[in-house]
Amino acid sequence: MRRREFISLLGGATAAWPLAARAQQPDRIRRIGVLAGLAEDDPEMTARLAGFRQGLEKRGWSEGRNVRIDYRYAPESSADRAQVLAKELIALQPDAIFAQATSVVAALQRETRTIPIVIVAIADPIGSGFIASLPRPGGNITGVMLYEASVSGKWLAMLKEIAPRLDRVALVTNPKTAPFYNYYLRAAESLSPSLGIKLVPSLVENSADLERTIGAFARTPNGGLLLPPDTGMNVHRDLIIALRGPAHFAGGLLVASVRRGRGSHVLRGRRSRHVPANSGLCRPHPARRQSRRPSGTGGDQVRNDRQPQNSEGTRLDRAARPARGRRRGNRMTIGRREFITLLGSTAAAWPLAARAQQPAGIRRMGVLYILGPEDPEVQARNAVFERNLLQLGWTIDRDLQIDWRYGGGDVESLRRYAAELAALAPDVILAVGSPTVAPLQQVTRTIPIVFSNVADPVGAGFVQSLARPGGNTTGFTNFEYSMSGKWVELLKQIAPAVKRVAVLRDPTVAAGLGQFGAIQSVAQSLGIEVTPMAVYDPAQVEREVMAFARSGNNGLIVTAGGMAAHRSLIVRLASSYKLPAVYPFRDYAVDGGLITYGPDTHDLIRRAASYVDRILKGEKPGDLPVQAPTKYELVINLMTAKALGLDIPAALLARSDEVIE
């Protein structure tokens, strides 16, 4: 993430702060405490706080006029110092506290459970015990997290790509300022063997430790450093950059730094973030997208395969899909994608032990779908899944038997089929779609379950955390809540006249509330009124959409989770009532939907095959971190746009992944 983007993020984070009556000036000066994890004279801290104040100004809060800000700085690794400063701030009884760095948030939490605390750039807020879940934090703490654990695998892959001879990497951090150390270590350890890298955990507490550790590590060639987010390391960044100089390694010590460095000679992974919901899609760098080539006639050419991006390989799974419309331009990279691209699509490269060795006897697995077997998208996903199992050494009906069950969108059928699959005692079960997981967990807590295309598995109670799922369940998510804000932005961009939007969601899917909340927060800034529409069955879908469509200037947003079972009906209703609509998955556009933006579901099912393989070869699902999507698709149906009388902006067309004509 660029410095300017991060500063904007800090300012934007204050939008949800509990400073009442934004539009109305308070009768008294309100008070905010700031406890920072960097030094007061640190240029980065100065810039961030400037962005923070700018964000307050935009929302009507001016320092010295109607709000007072008390600053405290705890840059070193001393937990005692942070605790003293936390006590000082709490004693001032501020209306809210802004905190950055895990150590200072922990100190504040020990002092108060009532004063609201807004956090930013925290790596593992759930694992650290700050919040109960992402959609429902509970308590007095909320804010913006930094990375998911699987990003550390991508950092390793980037190092290996830029330095192929690399065979040793020291993961350096301070356990006192980064108690979440294992959050990143486990994901990095799972990938390092497949890259031929020996990962060396290196714990340091001060600059002397740091210099001694790096100096000792540098005596052997072909090494590199990996520095996960850690305030304790950030205060020593100049020293780290100096120590990685050419005297230590041929060509210098290669450093993958997740913090903003001091020179171009440091390899820096893209900064990851939750995308502010009001970030634009079509500015000079729409959706925070960086073009990979100049625009021109080449943008309209049909390509035989996908262009590699961010170290992603070519995509072999496309053959299973129906023929697509022609491609326009590069892949769209909306801000969150810069973040997610770093989040480990590492499953395919993870250590898959003894691939060439077949297991003794035939193994058995179950598959439970929310959709029906006749659905073309289901058939395409199944082809992708089976092909990837074959590539991993499993031949269907020779050494692996698969029992398929399809719910067809019916909750009772899902429960019945979940019980049937559990009774077969398979070695592992693949659950596709959010509504399939709960019925399986209700009938078994021992048979391994790998889910795909599931929203917010932590909030739904399927896993304990993304990095450490625990239990018998793990898999691949499809969305973070900040993505939902992009849907309403797309709808407004493609249909500017829209004033009211109905948000269709399945009330049995816990993530629906979080998605609606993100949509609502963006809609207000765009002058759009949003109406939640909880629907269970086709009759209710038809009834609710028909009633909503009676007035003009309306639109639809279809959320992820549960709605896929009514896909054809929703698309037909939107067309009949001339409602511009945004959908979460590509198959809606194939069926005639106007525009879709969401994860590549075929990639998710491909990666799920790798987890099935690993579990069949002995690994435990609770030890495999839940993975986020790494590939997203923007698909536009021009035929539908024409039927609705809509002109698609040229900039949006140029940045789409697929245009159906």
211-255: per-residue pLDDT in tens? 888 888 888 888 888 887 766 666 677 777 776 554 333 333 444
State whether residue 528 is helix, strand or coil: coil
State whether residue 16 is helix, strand or coil: helix
Is 322 a member of any domain?
Answer: no
Is 432 a member of any domain?
Answer: yes
pLDDT interval class at 76 (50, 70, 90): low
- pLDDT (average), residues 74-87: 78
- pLDDT (average), residues 426-445: 95
pLDDT attached to residue 551: 80
Q: Do 42 and 185 fall within a single domain?
A: no
Q: Do 390 and 465 fall within a single domain?
A: yes
Question: What is the extent of the structural domain holding 475?
Answer: 363-479+602-624
Residue 579 CA to residue 556 CA, distance in Å, equals: 7
Is 443 a member of any domain?
Answer: yes
State whether residue 145 is helix, strand or coil: strand
The Cβ of residue 23 has, within 10 Å, a number of other Cβ atoms equal to 6
Among 32-46, 262-276, 424-438, the range scoring the smallest mean pLDDT is 262-276
Q: What is the pLDDT of residues 132-154, one digit of tens each?
A: 877 778 899 998 876 666 677 77
Helix (H) or strand (E) holding 536: none
Q: Do 164 and 218 fall within a single domain?
A: yes
Q: Do 58 and 194 fall within a single domain?
A: no
- pLDDT (average), residues 438-443: 95
pLDDT attached to residue 614: 96
pLDDT attached to residue 205: 79
Among 327-331, 344-348, 429-433, 445-449, the range scoring the smallest mean pLDDT is 344-348
pLDDT attached to residue 287: 37
Among 167-181, 284-298, 619-633, the range scoring the smallest mean pLDDT is 284-298
- The bridge status of strand 581-583 relative to strand 595-599 is parallel
pLDDT attached to residue 157: 80
pLDDT attached to residue 307: 36
- pLDDT (average), residues 274-300: 36
Q: Do 132 and 8 fall within a single domain?
A: yes
Reported pTM? 0.52
Is 296 a member of any domain?
Answer: no
Is 176 a member of any domain?
Answer: yes
Q: What is the pLDDT of residues 306-341, one digit of tens each?
A: 333 333 333 334 334 444 444 443 333 333 333 333
pLDDT attached to residue 532: 87
pLDDT interval class at 256 (50, 70, 90): very low
* Domain-ending residue, one of 251, 268, 285: 268
Q: What is the pLDDT of residues 533-564, one digit of tens each?
A: 888 788 888 998 998 988 888 999 998 876 77
User: Does the pLDDT of residue 304 top 90, yes or no?
Assistant: no
Helix (H) or strand (E) holding 215: helix 207-217
CATH number at residue 448: 3.40.50.2300
pLDDT interval class at 286 (50, 70, 90): very low
Q: Are 557 and 517 in contact (CB under 8 A)?
A: no
* Domain-ending residue, one of 145, 170, 190: 145
Residue 32 CA to residue 94 CA, distance in Å, equals: 5
Q: Do 164 and 238 fall within a single domain?
A: yes
pLDDT attached to residue 89: 94
Is 633 a member of any domain?
Answer: no
* Domain-ending residue, one of 96, 124, 145: 145
Is 240 a member of any domain?
Answer: yes
User: Does the pLDDT of residue 65 top 50, yes or no?
Assistant: yes
pLDDT interval class at 384 (50, 70, 90): very high
pLDDT attached to residue 352: 33
Q: Do 47 and 195 fall within a single domain?
A: no
Q: Do 90 and 189 fall within a single domain?
A: no
pLDDT interval class at 192 (50, 70, 90): confident
Counting the structural domains of the chain, the total is: 3
Q: Do 59 and 170 fall within a single domain?
A: no
Q: Do 200 and 121 fall within a single domain?
A: no
Residue 321 CA to residue 601 CA, distance in Å, equals: 11
Is 286 a member of any domain?
Answer: no
534 beta partners: 505
Residue 375 CA to residue 565 CA, distance in Å, equals: 10
State whether residue 167 is helix, strand or coil: coil
Q: Do 139 and 159 fall within a single domain?
A: no
Q: Do 157 and 186 fall within a single domain?
A: yes
pLDDT attached to residue 448: 97
Helix (H) or strand (E) holding 188: helix 181-191
Write the CB contacts of 397 (distance below 8 Å, at least 6 apart in sequence). none
- pLDDT (average), residues 586-610: 94
Phi, psi of 231 (to 5 degrees): -60, -35
